[in-house]
Protein backbone atom coordinates (compact mmCIF):
# COMPACT_ATOMS: atom_id res chain seq x y z
CA UNK A 1 0.00 0.00 0.00
CA UNK A 2 1.19 3.52 -0.66
CA UNK A 3 2.69 5.35 2.33
CA UNK A 4 1.25 8.79 2.97
CA UNK A 5 2.01 11.60 5.39
CA UNK A 6 -0.75 13.81 6.75
CA UNK A 7 -0.11 17.18 8.41
CA UNK A 8 -2.41 17.99 11.33
CA UNK A 9 -2.99 21.45 12.78
CA UNK A 10 -5.40 23.21 15.13
CA UNK A 11 -5.59 26.41 17.13
CA UNK A 12 -9.24 26.38 18.25
CA UNK A 13 -11.44 24.39 20.64
CA UNK A 14 -8.69 22.62 22.63
CA UNK A 15 -6.11 22.01 19.85
CA UNK A 16 -4.32 19.12 21.57
CA UNK A 17 -7.61 17.26 21.97
CA UNK A 18 -8.54 18.05 18.36
CA UNK A 19 -5.31 16.43 17.15
CA UNK A 20 -5.73 13.40 19.41
CA UNK A 21 -9.23 12.88 18.04
CA UNK A 22 -7.97 13.37 14.49
CA UNK A 23 -5.31 10.68 15.03
CA UNK A 24 -8.11 8.38 16.22
CA UNK A 25 -10.18 9.18 13.12
CA UNK A 26 -7.19 8.51 10.85
CA UNK A 27 -6.72 5.14 12.56
CA UNK A 28 -10.31 4.27 11.63
CA UNK A 29 -10.07 5.17 7.92
CA UNK A 30 -11.19 2.41 5.58
CA UNK A 31 -8.49 0.57 3.60
CA UNK A 32 -5.85 2.33 5.71
CA UNK A 33 -3.53 1.76 8.65
CA UNK A 34 -2.12 4.47 10.90
CA UNK A 35 1.55 3.45 11.03
CA UNK A 36 3.05 6.22 13.17
CA UNK A 37 2.35 9.61 14.66
CA UNK A 38 4.73 12.37 15.59
CA UNK A 39 4.93 14.36 18.76
CA UNK A 40 2.71 17.40 19.07
CA UNK A 41 4.40 20.75 18.43
CA UNK A 42 3.29 24.28 19.30
CA UNK A 43 4.11 27.05 16.83
CA UNK A 44 3.28 30.67 16.17
CA UNK A 45 0.63 31.16 13.47
CA UNK A 46 1.87 31.65 9.91
CA UNK A 47 -0.69 34.24 8.94
CA UNK A 48 -2.37 36.87 11.07
CA UNK A 49 -0.69 37.01 14.46
CA UNK A 50 -3.91 37.99 16.32
CA UNK A 51 -4.84 34.35 16.79
CA UNK A 52 -3.76 31.58 19.17
CA UNK A 53 -0.67 29.48 18.56
CA UNK A 54 -1.12 26.29 16.58
CA UNK A 55 -0.58 22.72 17.66
CA UNK A 56 0.79 20.60 14.79
CA UNK A 57 1.78 17.01 14.14
CA UNK A 58 2.26 14.53 11.29
CA UNK A 59 0.67 11.11 10.82
CA UNK A 60 2.13 8.31 8.71
CA UNK A 61 -0.57 6.29 6.98
CA UNK A 62 -0.50 3.28 4.68
CA UNK A 63 -3.58 3.38 2.49
CA UNK A 64 -5.18 1.72 -0.49
CA UNK A 65 -7.31 4.83 -1.04
CA UNK A 66 -6.53 6.80 -4.19
CA UNK A 67 -5.20 10.34 -3.57
CA UNK A 68 -8.51 12.15 -4.19
CA UNK A 69 -10.47 9.57 -2.19
CA UNK A 70 -8.05 10.09 0.70
CA UNK A 71 -8.43 13.87 0.37
CA UNK A 72 -12.21 13.47 0.54
CA UNK A 73 -11.86 11.41 3.73
CA UNK A 74 -9.52 13.99 5.29
CA UNK A 75 -11.96 16.80 4.50
CA UNK A 76 -14.82 14.77 5.99
CA UNK A 77 -12.84 14.42 9.24
CA UNK A 78 -12.20 18.18 9.23
CA UNK A 79 -15.94 18.84 8.85
CA UNK A 80 -16.76 16.51 11.73
CA UNK A 81 -14.46 18.69 13.84
CA UNK A 82 -16.29 21.87 12.87
CA UNK A 83 -13.89 23.07 10.19
CA UNK A 84 -15.29 25.97 8.20
CA UNK A 85 -13.57 26.78 4.92
CA UNK A 86 -13.33 30.53 4.53
CA UNK A 87 -11.76 32.83 1.97
CA UNK A 88 -9.30 33.99 4.66
CA UNK A 89 -6.05 32.08 4.34
CA UNK A 90 -4.10 31.01 7.41
CA UNK A 91 -6.85 31.98 9.81
CA UNK A 92 -7.87 30.14 12.97
CA UNK A 93 -9.32 26.66 12.59
CA UNK A 94 -10.50 23.75 14.65
CA UNK A 95 -8.72 21.20 12.47
CA UNK A 96 -6.61 21.26 9.34
CA UNK A 97 -5.55 17.99 7.67
CA UNK A 98 -3.14 18.32 4.75
CA UNK A 99 -2.06 15.49 2.49
CA UNK A 100 1.67 16.22 2.52
CA UNK A 101 3.04 13.22 0.64
CA UNK A 102 1.48 10.30 -1.19
CA UNK A 103 4.20 7.71 -1.69
CA UNK A 104 6.77 9.28 -4.02
CA UNK A 105 4.12 10.68 -6.36
CA UNK A 106 3.95 14.23 -7.64
CA UNK A 107 0.32 15.24 -8.13
CA UNK A 108 -0.90 18.51 -9.62
CA UNK A 109 -4.69 18.62 -9.78
CA UNK A 110 -7.12 21.51 -9.21
CA UNK A 111 -8.06 20.08 -5.77
CA UNK A 112 -4.76 18.53 -4.76
CA UNK A 113 -1.06 19.30 -5.00
CA UNK A 114 1.36 16.69 -3.64
CA UNK A 115 3.91 17.15 -2.25
CA UNK A 116 2.04 19.87 -0.35
CA UNK A 117 2.96 23.25 -1.81
CA UNK A 118 4.23 24.72 1.48
CA UNK A 119 5.96 21.67 2.92
CA UNK A 120 9.54 22.83 2.39
CA UNK A 121 8.97 26.20 4.12
CA UNK A 122 7.26 25.02 7.30
CA UNK A 123 9.29 23.85 10.27
CA UNK A 124 6.06 22.73 11.97
CA UNK A 125 5.71 20.16 9.14
CA UNK A 126 9.38 19.36 8.50
CA UNK A 127 10.27 18.69 12.16
CA UNK A 128 7.51 16.10 12.71
CA UNK A 129 8.35 14.51 9.34
CA UNK A 130 12.02 14.29 10.33
CA UNK A 131 10.97 12.79 13.67
CA UNK A 132 9.08 10.01 11.87
CA UNK A 133 11.57 9.49 9.01
CA UNK A 134 15.00 11.04 9.78
CA UNK A 135 16.40 10.08 6.36
CA UNK A 136 13.31 11.06 4.33
CA UNK A 137 13.92 12.22 0.77
CA UNK A 138 11.12 14.03 -1.05
CA UNK A 139 10.07 13.17 -4.63
CA UNK A 140 12.17 16.11 -5.89
CA UNK A 141 15.31 14.63 -4.28
CA UNK A 142 15.51 17.11 -1.37
CA UNK A 143 16.26 15.70 2.05
CA UNK A 144 13.81 16.75 4.79
CA UNK A 145 16.66 17.21 7.31
CA UNK A 146 18.41 19.68 4.99
CA UNK A 147 15.20 21.61 4.31
CA UNK A 148 14.59 21.85 8.05
CA UNK A 149 18.02 23.43 8.59
CA UNK A 150 17.21 26.10 5.99
CA UNK A 151 13.66 26.74 7.18
CA UNK A 152 12.42 29.88 8.94
CA UNK A 153 11.55 29.23 12.56
CA UNK A 154 7.98 29.55 13.81
CA UNK A 155 9.01 29.19 17.47
CA UNK A 156 8.48 25.45 17.40
CA UNK A 157 8.12 23.80 20.82
CA UNK A 158 7.72 20.05 21.28
CA UNK A 159 4.81 19.32 23.62
CA UNK A 160 4.97 15.57 24.14
CA UNK A 161 6.63 12.39 22.91
CA UNK A 162 4.73 10.37 20.32
CA UNK A 163 2.40 7.65 21.51
CA UNK A 164 3.19 4.06 20.46
Q: What is the CA radius of gyration of the chain?
A: 15
Q: Which of 83, 122, 123, 158 is catalytic?
A: 83
Distance CA 54, CA 64 (A): 30
**CB count, 10 Å around CB of 4?**
24
**CB count, 10 Å around CB of 104?**
12
Active site residue 98: yes
Distance CA 127, CA 158 (A): 10
Distance CA 28, CA 17 (A): 17
Q: Which of 96, 111, 122, 123 is catalytic?
A: 96
Q: Which of 42, 62, 72, 98 is catalytic?
A: 98
Tell me which residue of 9, 1, 27, 3 sits closest to 137, measured CA to CA. 3
Active site residue 96: yes
Active site residue 53: no
Q: Which of 37, 42, 93, 122 is catalytic?
A: 93
Residues forming the active site: 83, 93, 96, 98
Amino acid sequence: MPRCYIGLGSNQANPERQLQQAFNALAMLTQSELVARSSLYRSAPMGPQEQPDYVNAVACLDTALAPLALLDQLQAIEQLHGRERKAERWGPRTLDLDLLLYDQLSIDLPRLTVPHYGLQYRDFVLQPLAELEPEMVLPNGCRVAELLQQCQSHGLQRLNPPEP
